[in-house]
Structure 1
Amino acid sequence: MRQITSNIHYVGVNDRNKHLFEGLWPLPDGVSYNSYLIADEKVCLVDTVEVDFFVQYIQNIREVIGDRQIDYLVINHMEPDHSGSISLIRKYYPEVRIIGNKKTFDMMAGFYGIGDGCVEVKNGDTISLGRTTLSFVMTPMVHWPETMMTLACVEAGRGRGCGCGTGVSLPDDGCATAGSPSATVLFSGDAFGCFGALNGGIIDSRIDCSPFWLEMVRYYSNIVGKYGVPVQNALKKLAGVKLDYICSTHGPVWHENIDKVIGMYDGMSRYATEPGLVICYGTMYGNTERAAEEIARAASEAGVRKIVMYNVSKTHHSYIIRDVFRYRGLIVGAPTYNTGLYHEMEVLLSELAGRDIKDRLIGWFGSYAWASKAVSKIKQWNDDHLHFDHVGPVVEIRQSLDSTTATQCRELGQAMAEALALRD
């Protein structure tokens, strides 16, 4: 299969058929389930793939090791798209020993009824495969409680230290698996992953990475986004480690772009933003949409260059959430519906509230035919859950936009532009 270093190989698969990841997130370009094989004096498989792809998966493994046995299987993350083939791997390789932490094995017993042949590791523990030493870094809640990462470094006992924080001593040519030059490889689980199948190549230096950057933000914001503090804790544990490859369980193997990828995760987990404004709205007959257009025009005229607009009933919310992570400003508007808030806007605000996003500016507007509820409901969401800084007038439109409410919409757009200028 595809080689990363002289003894580390990619044996993952692509899923180009699934429509929704986790039954929730659209996959217009598919997704990869990445697994890696270390062929040393002992053979170690790192994570598995979704069980539906096992036939291709076992062929990929045998292409690398032939009839050799697998000695170890490292499970960095127990979600079934990465652990789903454990039982079948056990059938093909009955002597394999499964490496994980205590929480890994608690989940493995529940998912697959497996409790024997396990090697429990803790933070900083090491296991030698021959020339390769695996070191384990516990990263709980990135994004499940059992998640961990695995560093592959050259064996202990020679030369200088590698600086990876594991205490491993290295020869003069550096830290990692065999090869010239040597390398330090991080198997990161879901961290640093993204949506999108791999179209032939797997290492970033050999492919066009442009489709993956926004998909990394969408992946992070929707799946990992709530866990900014645990991500920061994980980054601190990895600080000072000079990585040559990051092998995530989704998306490309990062090599040339490691600094960019880590920088993106650092920024997203601190809820950092770039200047810009998201305007999202619900509309039934176009009146609320016309208000949104007035707001956007005024914000643009006041100097906001990056403005994205979304109809919450037309655009999948994962793309809206992605851009709320990217931009500091948010303006939402919707009609009153069934004496409450328009359903899709209610859902979106609930989704945003579940991600604990910090340091954002928000404005809102609403419309109604005979009984006003939308604006009060949006205010309640912000007061009780979002806690974003409120900007500008609240615009409430009775039946349709008129000269007074159109002026208020323009005032809201201008106020947001001024607030963004002060922040940015």
Structure 2
Amino acid sequence: MHYHAPITEKVFWIGTNDRKTERFENYLPLPQGVAYNSYLINDEKTCIIDTVDFSTAGLFIEKINGILKGKALNYIIVNHMEPDHSGSLGEVMAHFPEAKLIGNVITLKMIKAFIPDFDEAKFICIKEGDKLSLGHHTLTFAMVPMVHWPESMVTYDITDKILFSNDAFGSFGTLDGGIFDDEINFSFYEDEMRRYYSNIVGKYGPQVLNAINKLGGLEIKYICPSHGILWRKDISVVINHFANWASFTPEEEGVVIVYGTLYGTTAKMANVIARELAWNGIKNIKIYDASKTDHSYIISDIWKYKGLIIGSAAHNNDVYPVLQGLLHKLKNYGLKNRYLGIFGNMLWSGGGVRGIQAFADALPGLEVIADAVEAKGEPTPDDQRKLENIAKAMAEKLKSERQ
């Protein structure tokens, strides 16, 4: 018995759950695993929309055979060539050699890069708005370049109003029984969806907004992404989440304090700021030691909250090493629409605070809300007052936005 799930009469979820892989793209932790979503349309002509990671290819082939029961597979649509979607493509082609692959002109280049001996005679090149009839179902295609690879596209089932959305509207987390939004508790997945967006797609906010605008004219009854929950009830929820994340719109009033410390003095400074924030009525305060917590979780909370306060010990005249990667990624993603506070610690020549200030200068969408504070060793009473001023200024900014 091979578990698959009907979406509509002829459309099936044939995805797989991966609870073994420890890190997505070999660097993002997967404590709740990840689902590789694939879909099969069993019409007069049969069609698979994307495949799955190679690690679950065996189960995937079993699921296809369980539905087709000896019937030919006619088409494989390749919305995205990243290996978590296409890793089992070669395996599927070996089992179903008669199948034609469907993608755009950039897709073909990437197929040949991953499968050098690919027979181009098996490829059907489509462009924006082309249609494919399967019998009862008719599919069409829209290009969504850089959401989040250049060949990325989505497939739309005109018949059943299904958007097969590729990496748009996806999430970390396996599908543990329920696959639809009305079968599960979304709050269980919400943080993992934000962590997925902010770390995987986050750099390409403008492209995501362009894609949402492009698809806005479609009647959509189902959103079927390549990872995570399928949507059929509260479709506006997931669209609004992605639109807000793409525009760097915070979800809640709150502050992330993240620091790098060698021997604890910078951590003391973070605690002073946090306590003063609480005294001033800020309830959502997250403090992270950048040496301990994986940066993907810190970045996710930075996307969630309006306030960000960064502290660094000086290390070889520079920002503390574990903070450098975090700042680089935030800069690369173009973080904006956040209030920023800066603090740190030094003994002689400094560098930590100076490096954070350079980071802020490179991102005009950040508003520095108070003078930076840089202690020399143990924070003095005067340092403490200055740290409290950062907290007070942040609290005032946040409270001024309350409705």
- Is 1:258 equivalent to 2:235 in the alignment? yes
Once residues 84 and 5 of structure 1 are traced to their aligned partners in structure 2, the CA distance between those partners, rounded to angstroms, is 27
Output the amino acid matched with 1:134: L
The correspondence for 2:347, drawn from 355, 364, 369, is 369
Alignment coverage as a number of residue pairs? 396
Alignment partner of 1:116: what SS?
Answer: helix
The offset of 1:240, in angstroms, is 2.9
The offset of 1:387, in angstroms, is 4.9
Comparing 413-422 and 69-78, the one that deviates more: 413-422
Output the amino acid matched with 1:401: P
CA deviation profile, 1:180-237 (whole Å, cap 9, x unmatched):
xxxx111011111100011122122222322211111000000100111111110111
The 5-angstrom pairing of residues 161-176 of structure 1 reads 176=160
The offset of 1:255, in angstroms, is 1.3
User: What TM-score does the superposition give when structure 2 sets the normalisation length?
Assistant: 0.96
The 5-angstrom pairing of residues 311-390 of structure 1 reads 311-385=289-363, 387-390=365-368
Comparing 339-348 and 59-68, the one that deviates more: 339-348
Once residues 233 and 346 of structure 1 are traced to their aligned partners in structure 2, the CA distance between those partners, rounded to angstroms, is 31
1:40 corresponds in structure 2 to 43
Q: Where does structure 2 lack aligned partners over 5 or more consecutive residues?
A: none
Output the amino acid matched with 2:351: K
The offset of 1:95, in angstroms, is 1.2
Once residues 70 and 220 of structure 2 are traced to their aligned partners in structure 1, the CA distance between those partners, rounded to angstroms, is 32
The correspondence for 1:223, drawn from 200, 207, 217, is 200
Once residues 87 and 105 of structure 2 are traced to their aligned partners in structure 1, the CA distance between those partners, rounded to angstroms, is 18
Instruction: Output the aligned Cα RMSD.
Output: 1.2
Q: Judge conservation of contact 1:356–1:386 (CA < 8 Å) in 2.
A: no
- Is 1:267 equivalent to 2:239 in the alignment? no
- Is 1:422 equivalent to 2:371 in the alignment? no
Q: Judge conservation of contact 2:316–2:351 (CA < 8 Å) in 1.
A: no
The offset of 1:279, in angstroms, is 0.6
Q: Judge conservation of contact 1:357–1:386 (CA < 8 Å) in 2.
A: no
Runs (4+) of structure 1 exceeding 3 A deviation are none
2:146 corresponds in structure 1 to 141
Once residues 397 and 158 of structure 2 are traced to their aligned partners in structure 1, the CA distance between those partners, rounded to angstroms, is 49
Once residues 373 and 140 of structure 1 are traced to their aligned partners in structure 2, the CA distance between those partners, rounded to angstroms, is 39
Once residues 275 and 371 of structure 2 are traced to their aligned partners in structure 1, the CA distance between those partners, rounded to angstroms, is 16
- Is 1:3 equivalent to 2:15 in the alignment? no
Once residues 7 and 288 of structure 2 are traced to their aligned partners in structure 1, the CA distance between those partners, rounded to angstroms, is 41
Once residues 206 and 366 of structure 1 are traced to their aligned partners in structure 2, the CA distance between those partners, rounded to angstroms, is 47
Once residues 319 and 384 of structure 2 are traced to their aligned partners in structure 1, the CA distance between those partners, rounded to angstroms, is 21
Once residues 85 and 362 of structure 1 are traced to their aligned partners in structure 2, the CA distance between those partners, rounded to angstroms, is 44
The offset of 1:12, in angstroms, is 1.0
- Is 1:128 equivalent to 2:133 in the alignment? yes
Once residues 297 and 53 of structure 1 are traced to their aligned partners in structure 2, the CA distance between those partners, rounded to angstroms, is 48
The 5-angstrom pairing of residues 48-87 of structure 1 reads 48-87=51-90
Once residues 225 and 133 of structure 1 are traced to their aligned partners in structure 2, the CA distance between those partners, rounded to angstroms, is 32
Q: Judge conservation of contact 2:265–2:379 (CA < 8 Å) in 1.
A: yes
The offset of 1:24, in angstroms, is 1.3
2:106 corresponds in structure 1 to 103
Once residues 86 and 95 of structure 2 are traced to their aligned partners in structure 1, the CA distance between those partners, rounded to angstroms, is 15
Output the amino acid matched with 1:261: V
The correspondence for 1:195, drawn from 172, 195, 205, is 172
Comparing 114-123 and 53-62, the one that deviates more: 114-123
Q: Where does structure 1 lack aligned partners over 5 or more consecutive residues?
A: 155-175, 177-183
CA deviation profile, 1:81-130 (whole Å, cap 9, x unmatched):
11111112111111111111111111111111223311111111110000
Identity of aligned residues (%): 41
Once residues 255 and 357 of structure 1 are traced to their aligned partners in structure 2, the CA distance between those partners, rounded to angstroms, is 31
The offset of 1:386, in angstroms, is 6.3
Q: Judge conservation of contact 2:335–2:363 (CA < 8 Å) in 1.
A: no
The correspondence for 1:25, drawn from 21, 24, 28, is 28
The offset of 1:385, in angstroms, is 4.5
The 5-angstrom pairing of residues 170-185 of structure 1 reads 176=160, 184-185=161-162
2:18 corresponds in structure 1 to 15
Output the amino acid matched with 2:95: Y
Q: Judge conservation of contact 2:306–2:337 (CA < 8 Å) in 1.
A: yes
Once residues 30 and 300 of structure 2 are traced to their aligned partners in structure 1, the CA distance between those partners, rounded to angstroms, is 14
Once residues 68 and 327 of structure 2 are traced to their aligned partners in structure 1, the CA distance between those partners, rounded to angstroms, is 50
- Is 1:207 equivalent to 2:189 in the alignment? no
Comparing 367-376 and 215-224, the one that deviates more: 367-376
Once residues 243 and 206 of structure 1 are traced to their aligned partners in structure 2, the CA distance between those partners, rounded to angstroms, is 19
Once residues 348 and 387 of structure 1 are traced to their aligned partners in structure 2, the CA distance between those partners, rounded to angstroms, is 17
- Is 1:233 equivalent to 2:210 in the alignment? yes
Once residues 264 and 143 of structure 1 are traced to their aligned partners in structure 2, the CA distance between those partners, rounded to angstroms, is 17
The 5-angstrom pairing of residues 296-315 of structure 1 reads 296-315=274-293
Once residues 52 and 300 of structure 2 are traced to their aligned partners in structure 1, the CA distance between those partners, rounded to angstroms, is 26
1:248 corresponds in structure 2 to 225
User: What TM-score does the superposition give when structure 1 sets the normalisation length?
Assistant: 0.91
Output the amino acid matched with 1:74: I
Q: Judge conservation of contact 2:314–2:344 (CA < 8 Å) in 1.
A: yes
- Relative to structure 1, the CA distance from residue 150 to residue 300 in structure 2 (aligned partners, 3 Å threshold; closer, same or farther) is same
Once residues 404 and 339 of structure 1 are traced to their aligned partners in structure 2, the CA distance between those partners, rounded to angstroms, is 24
Output the amino acid matched with 1:332: I
The offset of 1:65, in angstroms, is 0.9
The correspondence for 2:158, drawn from 148, 153, 157, is 153
Alignment partner of 1:354: what SS?
Answer: helix
1:166 corresponds in structure 2 to none
Once residues 266 and 78 of structure 2 are traced to their aligned partners in structure 1, the CA distance between those partners, rounded to angstroms, is 49
The offset of 1:55, in angstroms, is 0.9
Once residues 385 and 421 of structure 1 are traced to their aligned partners in structure 2, the CA distance between those partners, rounded to angstroms, is 23
The offset of 1:335, in angstroms, is 0.5
Comparing 63-72 and 111-120, the one that deviates more: 111-120
